[in-house]
Amino acid sequence: MKTAIIYDSIYGNTGKVAEEVARVRGEDAKLIHIASARKEDVAEAELIIIGTPTHGGRATAAMQTFIKSLPTDIWLNKKVAVFSTGMPASSVSLFFRMVIKILGYAAAPTLAVLLKMGGLHAGEPAEFMVKDKQGPLIEGELLRAGKWAESLK
């Protein structure tokens, strides 16, 4: 299945997850950083996987801007899946713990936006955890990401 994996990453952790997702999806998968993502990348793919760090409970500003820049009907009958990275509430400052408890992680609200525009549910939203704001990914998360990528339909 022709797959576009469009991701953002400030410190590189979401990029590592995106690379693992691309590796597991195989040669039909194209890995695209948000800075070079184009409307055609979405239009030409059958499955679009969005990967984003969680910033204030949502996708990064660049990812939200990209999604908003597309015609809404581009998602009609496209399979969509979203993963985000974020920090476990148990390991962060009180401020971030409140943010995470109240706002959650970016994957679910981002997927909800794509489904509302007519995207087809290809898998549950997934969150992969980093130890701190700059990472690294918690041990085992890349393995979990690979399994998630395999499970997408």
What is the DSSP code (8-state) at residue 35? G
The DSSP secondary structure of 67-119, one letter per residue, reads HHHS-GGGGTT-EEEEEEEE--GGGS-HHHHHHHHHH--SHHHHHHHHHHTT-
As a 3-state breakdown, the chain gives helix, strand, coil percent values, each rounded to 5, of 45, 25, 35
Among positions 47-66, residues that touch ligand FMN (CB under 6 A) are 53-57
Residue 107 lies near ligand FMN (rule: CB under 6 A): no
Select the span of 12-20, 61-69, 73-81, 141-149 touching ligand FMN (CB under 6 A): 12-20
Q: Rank residues 17 and 152 by Cβ distance to ligand FMN and give the closer one.
A: 17
Select the span of 66-74, 83-91, 115-123, 143-151 touching ligand FMN (CB under 6 A): 83-91
Contact residues: ligand FMN, CB under 6 A: 9-15, 53-57, 85-87, 99-100, 103, 105, 130, 133, 135
